[in-house]
Amino acid sequence: MAENNPFPGENNTGHIWDDNLRELSNPPPRWWMIAFWASVLWWVAYGVLYPMWPTLSGNTKGVMGWSQMQEYEKGVAEVESVRAQFETQIEGMSAAEVLANPGLSEYTVASAKVLFGDNCAACHGSGGQGNAGFPVLADDDWLYGGTIENIEQTISMGRKGIMTAHGKILSDGEIDTMSKAIEAGNPTSDPNFTQKGCIACHGMDGKGMAVLGSANLTDGIYRFMPAEGESLLDSIKYTIKYGVNDVTEPKSREAVMPAFGERLSKDDIKKLAVYVHKFGGGQ
């Protein structure tokens, strides 16, 4: 056929249609062919070494025996073994000891974040910043004391502060005067503070008692924040008039910290105590 080729020397394949339509033979450049065959070889080698081909019962395993699942499980096992070391140490220690150990307390803060989010954040806010009616945990003002032991006990046993309603003991005018003295940070300047028994729970100096959870009335920090549109003075008056957790007063404020002793393990409570203490306000 080559002898009859009407277009010699142009590197055609000899296939000619319609008198002059030719198929030319232009092989791809050499570098391209090398890359092409190299990639085919790579693909075959990969299929031999690694899991690749689907089979009826799963897939080929590859001669290396490697799999992503194994890699993942190895990673998880490593994390677990690191955790287990910390967890066993925490088991044998008191919350105070965990807190005093920098490595352990760091681990605890990291690992208790989820616990706090699941059990506490709904009331106290995700960073312990508090909510209306729920005290701030991230400051150094404590109703029930801020030592690690106080905090652990609060979480385990729960708390319920009781303040009797004073609407029948004090007139509205007296409540007004008293509230202004408290707002000014000086409750003891009102003689009624002593005469009407506030000192029994809030102390001679008005600074509160941790055993009762009675708030410090001199520091300008309020455990019951004014509601939307309410003034601080009105909020103080409300507390005095209707009390807190006073079952005889339907309008009484409610403030119950649930007990977690039955719901969470001792170690989880220990961790939470460290976590709360580490918000920065622990004493």
Report the nearest approach of ligand HEC to the CB of residue 85 (Å).
Answer: 25
Nearest alpha carbon to residue 102 among 88, 89, 116: 89
Report the nearest approach of ligand HEC to the CB of residue 102 (Å).
Answer: 22
Report the nearest approach of ligand HEC to the CB of residue 202 (Å).
Answer: 6
Report the nearest approach of ligand HEC to the CB of residue 47 (Å).
Answer: 54
Cα–Cα dist 19/7, whole Å: 11
Pair 9, 24: CB distance under 8 Å: no
**Strands in the chain per DSSP E:** 12-17, 21-24, 54-55, 58-59, 159-160, 256-257
Contacts to ligand HEC by CB under 6 A: 119-120, 122-124, 134-135, 137, 142-144, 151, 154-155, 159-164, 166, 178, 182, 196-198, 200-202, 212-215, 217, 222-224, 236, 239-240, 244, 255-258, 260, 272, 276
Report the nearest approach of ligand HEC to the CB of residue 111 (Å).
Answer: 14
Sort 124 into a burial class: Cβ within 10 Å, 0-12 / 13-18 / 19+: buried
Nearer to ligand HEC, 40 or 247 (CB): 247
Q: Whose CB is nearest to ligand HEC?
A: 161
Nearer to ligand HEC, 79 or 211 (CB): 211
Nearer to ligand HEC, 16 or 109 (CB): 109
Nearer to ligand HEC, 16 or 201 (CB): 201
Pair 105, 96: CB distance under 8 Å: no
Nearer to ligand HEC, 61 or 268 (CB): 268
Report the nearest approach of ligand HEC to the CB of residue 83 (Å).
Answer: 21
Report the nearest approach of ligand HEC to the CB of residue 79 (Å).
Answer: 25
Pair 143, 215: CB distance under 8 Å: yes
Nearer to ligand HEC, 104 or 272 (CB): 272
Long-range contacts of 231-239 (CB under 8 A, 24+ apart): 232/183, 233/179, 233/180, 233/183, 236/179, 236/182, 236/183, 237/175, 237/176, 237/179, 239/163
Nearer to ligand HEC, 51 or 167 (CB): 167
Six-digit token pair at 157? 């046993």
What CA dihedral angle connects 242, 131, 225 and 169, to 10 degrees?
A: 10
